[in-house]
Structure 1
Amino acid sequence: MNSCETSHSDSSPVRELRFADCDQLSELVTSGDIEFIQLGAGPCQASMMRIDLDGFYMLLTDVPNRTAIHAASQKDLRVIHIPLRWTGSLHWNGRIVDRSGLIVWGDSCDYTRVGEDVRTVALLIDESLLRERIEAWLPSSHSLWDSLDGHMLADTPASRHFGQVAEWVLGLALQRSESLAVPAVRAQLSERLLLALANAVNAQEESAVLGCPTARHRGRIVRQMTDYLHAHPNRTMELSDLCQLTGYSARSIAHACQTVLETSPIRYLKPLRLNQARILLREGSHDSTTVSQCAHFAGFSHFGRFAADYRRMFGESPSKTLERCM
C-alpha cells in the first residue's frame, strides 16, 4: 500500500484519503499547525474525509491506533469537534471525555487526545463568517461566543441534535457524494448545520459549560515540550533539562504528560523520536537517504535497538518504510 490513497478526485467537494502514516492526516487540513503522533504499537492505517460545504468544511477522521494530536496556530478559525466513538481512554488536554456527543469548541485548539479506534468529526469555519451567518438567525452576544473558547459544551438536547445533523451530513457524503457537487445542496446543508450549531450554543445560557481552567494549560505544556524535543533530537534529555528549557516545574511537566499522554516525559521521548525517524524515512531520497542516517538524526545511537523498537512500533522494518515511500 502506498503512503496515501485517494478515493475521490481533488476537484470533488468530498475527498477521502487513507494513510499508512498518521502524520500525513494533516495534508487535508489547510489551516493551522497540526501534528499527529502515533503512540500505540502496530500499523496505523488511518483515514480522513474532507467535505467542502458552503464557505467551510468538515473533517471525518478515523485513527485505529493510539494517537496524540496537537493543533495550534489556527488564527481566526473556529473548530468544533464531535467525538463519535473510541475505545480505551480519550483525553482532551488531560480531561477525560467519558461520553460521546460532546462538542469541543475553540479557535486555537491547543489540545491533545489519546485513544484507540477513534472517530471524530470537526467543523472548521472562519470566525467572521460564522458570526455573520449564525447571528442573522439567532442574535447572540459576542461575550457568549467568546466564553466558549476552549470548552466542551454541556450535554443538552440541542447539542445532541447538532451532532446528529453532522452525522447525517457525513452519511450523505459517504452514500451520495455526487449530490454535494450541486451548490444549492451544499448551501442547504451548510445552513442546516449552522442553525443546529446556533441552537446548541444558545442552549448553553441555561446550562453549565463543561470547562477546566487548567486543561488547555496542560496541553500547552506538552506542546512546548514536544516542540523542543523535535528541535533537539540528538540531545540526551532529563526531566531537569525540560524544566530549565520550558520554564515549568518538574511536577507541572510530569502531571501534564501523565494526564494528557498517559506516560512520563522521558518515556514519551522514545515514541516521539520513532515518529520523527519515520517521517525522515518516508520523505527520504533514494540516492542519499539511509536508515542509519535517519536513526542517528532522530537521536538513536544503537542501530540494532532502533530497528527492533521501530518494527515493534509500526509493524514493519525501517528499511521497508524507506523502500515503500521511494
Structure 2
Amino acid sequence: MLLTSDSQPKAEVQAAPLRNGAHQIRTVEAHDADDHARNLTAWEQSYDQITPGQFHGMLAELQMPQMQVFLEQTSQAVRQSCCVWPDAFWFGLQGHADSGRVNGRINGRLGDAGAIMVRPGNCEFELVTPVDYAIYGIVIQRNALLCVADQMGCRIDWLRLASAEVLHVTEPAKTACLQTLAYLLSEDDVCSERNPVASLELPQQAVMMAMLSMLDTSEVDRAVSNSFMRRQRIVAQARDYVLAHRDQVITVPELCERLHVSRRTLQYCFEDVLGISPIQYLRIIRLNGARRHLREGLSGSLTVRDVAADWGFWHFSQFSSDYRKLFGQSPSESLRQRTH
C-alpha cells in the first residue's frame, strides 16, 4: 500500500485556504489532435493521431486552488507526449466502465479496468489511447495532498508513488472516485457555467478524500522487466532517428541497421510498446509532423509540396492520399486552416 496510518489521532480534515472569485467548468472542443492537446491548462503536450478519420476532442475542465480535474474524450486513437507542472501528481482513470474495451498504455504498459495511472510532475510520459476513449484526470499539488493525508493520520510513500505508473485499486474506491469526478464535471452540477460557485472548498476536499481512499487500497504494479525497458529504449531511439532525419525516406531495414536489431525484434518492440507496427509508425509520425507544419504556417510562402518534401514524402499524390485518409481532409485544407 502507498498509505500507512500514524499511531496518533489527527484533527478533522480542513481544506486549505481558497482564492477569491467564482469558479466554473471550462468546456472546449477541437477538431485537430494538437489543438486538443493545447486546450488542457498548464500541461506540456503534443498529440499524434494514429487511426484514420476526422478527429474530435472534448474537454471539460475545472480548476481549483490546488487541483485540476478534467474529463478528456477523443474520437481517434492518439499517441500523447505529456508533462504535468512541477510539484504535482497526475492520476488518470479510464472513463469507460466496460471492462471489455481496449485500454490505454502508459509508457508502453497496458492498463486494465481495475487500475489507475499515475505520474509525477515535471516528468515526461507517453500515453497511447484507443478509439473513442474517455479519461478522467486529477492533478493535485503535492503539498496539498500531503496536508490532507497528514490530517487524516496517513503517510504517503512518495518514493513508491513517484516511481509507479500503474496502480491497482479496489473497485469500490475507484467507482466512488469516478462518481465524484463525474458529478463535479456534470453540466447539472453546482459548479457548472450556469451556476458558478464562489468557493470550491467542498469539491476539492471531496476529490482529495476519494484519492486517499484509492491510495489506501492500492498496490503498485509489478516492476518493469529489463527486457521491456530495452524494448522501450529501442522504440525511443527509433523515434529520435526518424525525427532527426525527417526529410529522408526511412525504411524498416535502415532502422534495423541503425539500431542493431533484427526486423523481427523491431516489430515486436513496436507492437509491445505502442501496439502498432514499425511501418505504421513511420507513416504516422511523418504525416502528423507534416500536418503540424502545415497548420503552424510560419511562412506565408509555404506550399504543400514544400512541407511534403520536408517530411520525406517525394511521391506527392501518395502523400495527399495518405494524408486525407488519416485526417479526413486534404493537405491544402490544413494549410488554409493554419494558425496565426
TM-score by length of 2: 0.79
Residues 154, 218 of structure 1: alpha-carbon distance in 2 compared, 3 angstrom cutoff: farther
CA distance in 2, matches of 1:244, 1:73: 35
Match of 2:26 among 8, 15, 36: 15
List aligned pairs for 1:37-116, cutoff 5 A. 37-72=48-83, 75-85=86-96, 89-92=102-105, 93-99=107-113, 102-107=115-120, 108=123, 110-116=125-131
**1:51 maps to amino acid:** L
CA distance in 2, matches of 1:75, 1:238: 38
Correspondence 1:35 to 2:46: yes
List aligned pairs for 1:242-321, cutoff 5 A. 242=255, 253-284=266-297, 287-321=300-334
**Residues 13, 53 of structure 1: 8 Å contact kept:** no
CA distance in 2, matches of 1:109, 1:145: 18
**1:283 maps to amino acid:** E
List aligned pairs for 1:212-231, cutoff 5 A. 212-214=223-225, 221-231=234-244
Q: Which residue in 1 is equivalent to 2:337?
A: 324
For structure 2, the residue ranges without an aligned partner over 5 or more in a row are 1-21
CA distance in 2, matches of 1:294, 1:47: 29
Identity of aligned residues (%): 24
Q: Which one has a bigger Cα radius of gyration?
A: 2
What secondary structure is seen at the aligned counterpart in 2 of 1:90?
Answer: coil
CA distance in 1, matches of 2:239, 2:156: 37
Task: Give per-residue Cα distances to partners, 1:297-316, cap 9 Å, x unaligned.
Answer: 12211111101111111111
> By how many angstroms is 1:180 displaced?
7.2
List aligned pairs for 1:170-209, cutoff 5 A. 170-171=185-186, 176-178=191-193, 181-184=196-199, 186-204=200-218, 208-209=219-220
**Residues 89, 96 of structure 1: 8 Å contact kept:** no
TM-score by length of 1: 0.82
What secondary structure is seen at the aligned counterpart in 2 of 1:177?
Answer: coil
**Residues 111, 219 of structure 1: 8 Å contact kept:** no
> By how many angstroms is 1:134 displaced?
2.9
**Residues 22, 44 of structure 1: 8 Å contact kept:** yes
**Residues 113, 260 of structure 1: 8 Å contact kept:** no
> By how many angstroms is 1:57 displaced?
0.8
> By how many angstroms is 1:160 displaced?
2.4
**2:177 maps to amino acid:** F
For structure 1, the residue ranges without an aligned partner over 5 or more in a row are 1-10
Task: Give per-residue Cα distances to partners, 1:28-71, cap 9 Å, x unaligned.
Answer: 33445422111111100212222101322122111111222222
> By how many angstroms is 1:96 displaced?
3.4
State the Cα RMSD in Å: 3.1
Correspondence 1:234 to 2:218: no
Residues 51, 245 of structure 1: alpha-carbon distance in 2 compared, 3 angstrom cutoff: farther
> By how many angstroms is 1:268 displaced?
0.7
> By how many angstroms is 1:195 displaced?
0.8
> By how many angstroms is 1:296 displaced?
1.1
CA distance in 2, matches of 1:133, 1:303: 58
Match of 2:133 among 118, 135, 149: 118
> By how many angstroms is 1:105 displaced?
1.4
CA distance in 2, matches of 1:196, 1:266: 43
What secondary structure is seen at the aligned counterpart in 2 of 1:112?
Answer: strand
**Higher-helix-fraction structure:** 1
> By how many angstroms is 1:266 displaced?
2.9
List aligned pairs for 1:104-183, cutoff 5 A. 104-107=117-120, 108=123, 110-142=125-157, 146=161, 149-171=164-186, 176-178=191-193, 181-183=196-198
CA distance in 2, matches of 1:230, 1:125: 33
User: Number of residue pairs matched?
Assistant: 311
**Residues 156, 200 of structure 1: 8 Å contact kept:** no
